[in-house]
Amino acid sequence: MVTGLGGLAAGALLIVLGGDSLAKGLTGTALNLRMSGIRTGLLVSGLAAALPALAASGMALAAGRPAMALGCGVGAALAALGLGLGLGASIRSLDVQARIPTLILAVILVAALTAGLLSWDGRLAAGDGVGLAGILVFVVAMVWRRAPREATTVQQAFATAVETRREPSRVALRVAVGAAVLVAGAHLAVRAISGLGTATDAADFLAGATVLGVVASLPLAASTAMASLLRQGDLAVGTSLMAAVATLCGAVGLCALVRPLSIPRQWLAFDLVAVLLFAVALIPMLRSDARLTRAEGATVLTAWVAYVLWRAFLASGG
């Protein structure tokens, strides 16, 4: 048990370090390619924030734990909404001037409903994975097209928020080292969780939805907290929402493409309903006063903690 927990802690640390380095390296690469600040912040930073969950799901698939990989995808998507946004807003109210976040929330609703419908027959097959990948392609294209239409003040805020050191050698090193460390951390985390007694597919799914999903979301939580402290509300919200849709479509779609899986409906029902509820609750919060307040952030964070504790209780056999 101690070895397993130690491995999990080491894996979590490597995921945080690797995810941060990779995100900064990819951001610098995008800026060096003259991508606008708002496209970099929403697309590059958002998709980079989903990479730890994708790496963890990939490692779980490679280890022969497809149910854990699937659980990680759904759990990390929920963590992006509950932990990422909830923690950031709890630290300091997040001012949101951009219009795109509400559109991304609508896509998250569609993605969750689609995943539920595709898995309603108890299976996820390659065609289902293609459908989810199509939603991800759609949201990327939508953001790419609509980002330049945002107000000048919003674009300037993103340009300032994403600025990082861009020396080509530094950028390349960050990407290479970050990717290697992230993969190593994901491998350690999956191996540690696998050694803690998840002997059935149901237990694997719950462990993925809670422990692995949370661990894979730590880099996003850290970056959102930092953005909140720096008063970069648009970046914090945009990154979290893009990470949520990329994780849900990407990780679940990856599972379906790589290894078709039989899935009892009740496995996904609770989690996908939770995604829907979080997204529905966030829409009026963001639209009402263009701000996610500290009280709203605390509510979202508390709801997410309650979800994780309940799923962990189920995973323990309660």
Within a domain: 19: no
CATH of the domain at 88: 1.20.1420.30
Helix-then-strand count for the chain, H and E: 15, 4
Within a domain: 146: yes
Within a domain: 192: no
State which residues form the domain around 230.
38-164+199-315
Within a domain: 177: no
Within a domain: 126: yes
| Mean of the per-residue pLDDT values of the chain | 89
Instruction: Write the pLDDT tens digit of every residue in 17-73.
Output: 999 999 999 999 999 999 999 999 999 999 999 999 999 999 999 998 888 998 899
The whole-number average pLDDT for the span 186-204 is: 82
Cα-Cα-Cα-Cα torsion 62, 63, 66, 71, nearest 10 degrees, comes to -110
Within a domain: 222: yes
Instruction: Write the pLDDT tens digit of every residue in 105-155.
Output: 999 999 999 988 888 887 888 888 899 999 999 999 999 999 999 999 999
Question: CA 20 to CA 306: how far, in whole Å?
Answer: 27
Within a domain: 61: yes
Within a domain: 310: yes
pTM of the model: 0.92
Nearest CA to 86 out of 212, 211, 286, 225 is that of: 225
If one counts the domains in the chain, the total is: 1
